[in-house]
């Protein structure tokens, strides 16, 4: 910064001094013990060395020489030792100091006493510098200290967040036993463990599902129905309910999402259903296996398609919905568009809603093939 510039000291000299101070502190294992926010700046060290005669500067020079190895004295010392052969540049510092194996393994704990002693000397030197430093320098040091204190206060806890959110519910928490008797409840994303009075028990949820299915038939308000289904699924999740009713809820929501072309919600339900079907909890796994095949045809996901084909059993392949989906895949893979569009007209269940998403793409591909021929 411009405020810290000193006449007669260029930036290259300050950079060299800063590098020397840091490297010497690292060699003496004092990086963690030095009070860096209150530490004198490199140009201040250079000024102390140049002053030479005053008592305070002598004390500072002593600190620099002993602890931070001033540029001139340490440079000459190192040079003379290297010429004498006393120090090998290729030998690591811990070998030059003659540390034992236990001291090397112990690290900072073995040298804690020396570090504390050096830290006290450093503190005394800084206090001496403060006693004679100009007012502008003291003001700059105080600003630096306040800035570091604010930063440290802002990151005092490793779990603090800038948004101040409540802790998320843990997956290891036990199931909540709901006591809420309302059939309809808006969906809110959980930011804290749920309270029993906000969760509906299983008997109430069964009534809620019947009410939602009837409302969908009468009103077709997808925004409201989707919100209610997400709330219903959330109450099942926090209560750890996994049974045939859970499968029924996810299947109903997936079919409604397909009818409205909401692939995001459908895919969430499909993912949960796949795990529930593996637990043999009932439902219609073959119907949704066919939907998965159509979904991967739409996304051109060959890896997902290979996983589906690997999961198929002989019983799955005999089911009409799965057999139809496999025929659709085969027709597109071989370019038999005539067969594909005939199968499209005879799609069972709600698979036609998924084919509707990619049928235009395949129609254009069929037209391009006709034009080429």
Kindly report, residue by residue over 95-129, the tens digit of the pLDDT. 555 555 555 555 544 444 555 556 666 666 666 66
Give 150-157's long-range contacts (Cβ < 8 A, gap of 24+).
none
Whole-number pLDDT of residue 92? 55
Structure-token pair, residue 286: 């073959």
111 with 210, same domain? no
Would 9 be classed as within a structural domain? yes
Q: Mapping DSSP to helix (H, G, I), strand (E, B) and coil, where does residue 199 land?
A: coil
Task: Tell me what pLDDT residue 152 has.
Answer: 54
Average pLDDT over residues 85-93: 52
Distance of CA 359 to the CA centre of its chain: 38
**15-19, 34-38, 69-73, 319-323: least confidently modelled range:** 69-73
Does any domain span residue 174?
A: no
Q: Do residue 150 and residue 212 come from a single domain?
A: no
3-state SS track over 2-41: HHHCCCCCCHHHHHHHHHHHHHHHHHCCCCCCCCHHHCCC
Tell me what pLDDT residue 329 has: 95
Largest CA-CA distance found in the chain, in angstroms, rounded: 102
Same domain, 67 and 13: yes
| Residue 296 burial class via C-beta count within 10 angstroms: exposed 0-12, middle 13-18, buried 19 and up | buried
User: So what's the pLDDT on residue 371?
Assistant: 94
Residue 364: predicted pLDDT: 95
**CA 78 from chain center: how many Å?**
47
Alpha-carbon gap, residue 4 to 44, rounded angstroms: 10
Q: What is the mean pLDDT of residues 261-274?
A: 93
Whole-number pLDDT of residue 104: 53
Same-domain pairing of 343 and 236: yes
pLDDT band at 148 (very low <50, low <70, confident <90, very high): low
At 72 the pLDDT is 46
Mean pLDDT of 306-321: 91
Let me know whether 240 and 147 are in one domain.
Answer: no
pTM assigned to the model: 0.54
pLDDT the model gives residue 179: 87
Task: Identify whether 188 is part of a domain.
Answer: no
What's the domain range around 131? 2-154
Please name the residue that has the structure tokens 């909890």.
281
Whether 137 is in a domain gets the answer yes
Per-residue pLDDT at 109: 47
Indicate whether 87 and 219 sit together in one domain.
no
CA dist 316 and 302 (Å) reads: 20
Smallest CA-to-CA distance from 265 within 273, 275, 257, 276 is with 257
What is the spatial distance between Cα 246 and Cα 283, in angstroms, rounded to a whole number?
9
Cβ pair 183, 207 in contact under 8 A: yes
What separation in angstroms does the CA of 114 have from each of 33, 46, 111, 121? Answer: 11, 26, 5, 11
Inside any domain, residue 86? yes
**Could you tell me how many helices (H) and strands (E) the chain has, helices first?**
18, 0
Residues 6+ apart with CB under 8 A from 22: 31
CATH number of the domain where residue 310 is located: 1.25.40.990
Domain count, the chain: 2
Q: Is 159 contained in some domain?
A: no
Q: Which residue has the higher pLDDT, 327 or 97?
A: 327
Could you tell me the CA-to-CA distances from 205 to 175, 249, 370 in Å, in that order?
16, 10, 54
Structure confidence by residue, pLDDT tens digits, 186-230: 998 888 888 899 999 999 999 999 999 999 999 999 999 999 999
Residues 250 and 344 in one domain: yes
164 domain residue, yes or no: no
Of 154, 187, 206, at which residue does a domain stop?
154
Residue 297 φ/ψ, nearest 5 degrees: -65, -45
User: Of 179-193, 213-227, 289-303, 329-343, which range is least confident?
Assistant: 179-193
When pLDDT is averaged across residues 259-276 and rounded to a whole number, the result is 93
CA distance 13 to 16: 5
Whole-angstrom distance, CA of residue 20 vs CA of residue 34: 15
- Whether residue 134 is found in the same domain as residue 200: no
Q: Are 146 and 9 in a shared domain?
A: yes
Q: State the pLDDT at residue 10.
A: 77
Mean per-residue pLDDT over the chain, rounded: 77
How far apart, in whole angstroms, are the C-alpha atoms of residue 62 and residue 70?
9
C-alpha torsion angle, residues 362, 367, 371, 372 (rounded to 10): 10
251-261: average pLDDT: 94
Model confidence at 52, pLDDT cuts 50, 70, 90, reads low
Q: Which residue has the higher pLDDT, 79 or 299?
A: 299
Rounded-to-integer distance, Cα 13 and Cα 71, Å = 10
> Both 150 and 30 in a single domain?
yes
150 with 214, same domain?
no
5-9, 14-18, 348-352: least confidently modelled range: 5-9
Which of 70-79, 152-161, 360-369 is least confident? 152-161
Q: Where does the pLDDT of residue 35 fall: very low under 50, low under 70, confident under 90, or very high at 90 and above?
A: confident
Considering the domain boundaries, does residue 68 fall inside one?
A: yes
Gap between the Cα atoms of 357 and 300, Å rounded? 12
């Amino acid at each position: 910064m411009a405020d810290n510039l000193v006449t007669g000291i260029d930036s290259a000299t300050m950079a060299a001094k800063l590098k020397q101070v840091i490297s010497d502190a690292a060699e003496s294992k004092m990086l963690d013990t030095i009070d860096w926010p209150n530490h004198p700046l490199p140009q201040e060290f250079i000024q102390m060395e140049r002053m030479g005669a005053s008592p305070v500067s002598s004390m500072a020079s002593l600190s620099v020489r002993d602890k931070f190895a001033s540029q001139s004295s340490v440079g000459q010392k190192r040079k003379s030792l290297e010429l004498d052969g006393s120090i090998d540049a290729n030998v690591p510092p811990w070998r030059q100091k003659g540390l034992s194996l236990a001291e090397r393994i112990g690290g900072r704990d073995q040298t804690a006493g020396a570090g504390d002693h050096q830290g006290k000397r450093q503190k005394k030197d800084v206090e001496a510098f403060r006693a004679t430093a100009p007012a502008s320098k003291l003001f700059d040091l105080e600003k630096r200290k306040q800035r570091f204190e604010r930063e440290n206060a802002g990151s005092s806890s490793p779990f603090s967040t800038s948004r101040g959110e409540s802790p998320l519910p843990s997956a290891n928490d036990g199931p909540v036993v709901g006591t809420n008797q309302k059939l309809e409840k808006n969906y809110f994303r959980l930011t804290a463990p749920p309270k029993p009075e906000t969760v509906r028990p299983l008997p109430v949820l069964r009534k809620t599902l019947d009410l939602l299915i009837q409302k969908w038939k009468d009103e077709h308000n997808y925004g409201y129905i989707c919100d209610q289904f997400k709330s219903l699924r959330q109450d099942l999740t926090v209560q750890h309910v996994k049974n045939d009713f859970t499968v029924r809820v996810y299947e109903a929501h997936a079919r409604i999402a397909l009818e409205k072309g909401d692939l995001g919600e459908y895919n969430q339900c499909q993912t949960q259903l796949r795990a529930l079907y593996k637990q043999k909890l009932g439902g219609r796994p073959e119907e949704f296996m066919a939907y998965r095949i159509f979904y991967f045809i739409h996304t051109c996901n060959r890896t997902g398609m290979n996983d589906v084909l690997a999961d198929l059993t002989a019983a799955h392949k005999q089911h009409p919905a799965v057999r139809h989906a496999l025929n659709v895949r085969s027709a597109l893979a071989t370019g038999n568009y005539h067969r594909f569009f005939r199968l499209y007209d005879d799609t069972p269940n709600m698979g036609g809603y998924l084919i509707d998403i990619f049928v235009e793409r395949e129609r254009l591909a069929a037209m391009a093939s006709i034009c080429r021929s």
